[in-house]
Amino acid sequence: MFFKTIFRKKKENNSLELAPPKIESKTRLEQLEEEINNPKTKDSPQKSKSKPKFKSSIRQILITCIGLGIPIGFLYIVNLPYAAIRRPINNHAPVLLLPSQIIVENNFKKALNLTEQAEQLIDSATDFSDLELGSQRLQEGKIYLDNIPIVAQNDLMGYSGSRSLYRSSFSGSRFVEMRRKVGELEAKIFQGNNAKTTLNRLENQLTEIKNQYQNSNSDTERRQIIQQWRTMLNEFNLISPSTFAGTIAQQKLVAHQLDFEDVVGFSANNERLVTFISTAQDFANLAKVRGQNPPYTVSEWSEIENLWERAIGELKQISRDDLEGYRQANRIIVEYEDSLRDVRLRKEAEEDSLRNFNKAEDLINNYRSSTVNMEDSPNNINRRIVQIQEIINILQDIDPNSTSYAEAQMLISDAQNQINSLKSR
């Protein structure tokens, strides 16, 4: 068997060697053309294998997204700032509200910090840039404060006590207090900006008026400019002193007043003196006209008295520093005070005369009522004469320059006739 096997193998080898070689059916060039025309034929098996892997990856991604999205969406919904949603969650699963509670806490702390910075900058400002920075910090803090929903404390941050899982510095009362403080600071900023605008306007106007005065050659025009200048200096006092601009305004007012004195000088002082004296003379002339034709009532004398007082008040505004003007004003004041003293005496005389006249009328009424049924006995006649004489004495005390004098004289005449009639009985 062994030799048969060897012999058979040799025979097969010989037959293979004697077989003619087969001719290739396609040339190499034709094979290359087929590869170029059909490039996908070799890769198709690999791609067909990769398709199942790609579909499997997409499926895993979708499952992961759905698995994460559902709890995240549920957590987002339960943390919405609505009492109908949060209240049952607070009762059964308060831990789910922890994300929104942390956000509220962070917003409140940031708002508190920025508001305190703004308050410090606004209340202790040393420059207008501090106010601008304070306003900026306040607006930043307000943004964080506005992010906190307006919901009941228990619904927003959970119930206090052992059931609360998150201990927060936020509270409803502190939230309201923070809102109030922000409103107050906004009001301060608004007032401060208005005061700053007014201050800048006055500064620019004063510069323009100063230039106009220096370039003016007309005395009339200069007097008008001086009056406008004084008016603007007085407007500095109208800026609220509670604002930073008001504090700056008071400091600048001193400098502007010195500048006014330096630029205007004696001309302004002289114009000021003329203004006070002319105004006082106007009041005095009106008082003289009102008091030309007495007698007058008490109220009319009071009006004349007030005019003299106003005239004297204008003169007393002249400063002691203006020596010549002060001496001139004092000379006029002495004259006016003498006229005022005379008016007051006349007013007092009118008051006394009116008082005596009223007293006499009361005695006349009493006399008439008491003597209606009195008999004409000597004693009664003497008593009646005494009563009438008392009335005459009171009427004779009435001042001749009073409004009651004429009527008092008529009553005296009637009383004297009454006495003569009684004596003749």
Instruction: From first to last of the 425 residues of the chain, give the pLDDT tens digit.
Output: 433 443 344 444 444 444 444 444 456 666 656 655 555 444 444 444 455 666 677 777 777 777 666 767 766 666 667 665 676 666 666 666 677 777 778 888 888 899 999 999 988 888 888 889 999 999 999 988 888 776 645 555 554 444 455 556 667 778 888 889 998 999 999 999 999 999 999 999 999 998 888 888 877 788 888 888 888 999 998 888 888 888 899 999 998 888 887 777 666 667 778 889 999 999 999 999 999 999 999 999 999 999 999 999 999 998 888 787 889 899 999 999 999 999 999 999 999 999 999 999 999 999 988 887 777 788 888 989 999 999 999 999 999 999 999 999 999 999 999 999 888 87
Residue 396 has what pLDDT? Answer: 94
Look-up: residue for tokens 């004469």?
385
Residue 25 has what pLDDT? Answer: 47
Dihedral angle, C-alpha 210, 214, 218, 220, nearest 10 °:
30
Among 392, 382, 279, 380, CA closest to 329: 279
- Rounded Cα gap, residues 68 and 411, in angstroms: 116
Read off the DSSP letter of residue 322.
S
Residue 43 CB-density burial (10 A; 0-12 exposed, 13-18 middle, 19+ buried) = exposed
Residue 28 has what pLDDT? Answer: 61
> Any alpha helices (H) in 216-297, and if so which ranges?
219-235, 244-264, 266-290
H/E element holding 404? none
Residue 267 has what pLDDT? Answer: 62
The two three-digit tokens of residue 212, written as one number: 């106009």
pTM for the full model? 0.43
H/E element holding 84? helix 83-92
- Produce one character per residue of 279-303: b if its CB has 16 or more CB atoms within 10 Å, e if not: bbeebbebbeebbeeebbeeebbee
Among 245, 126, 247, CA closest to 134: 126
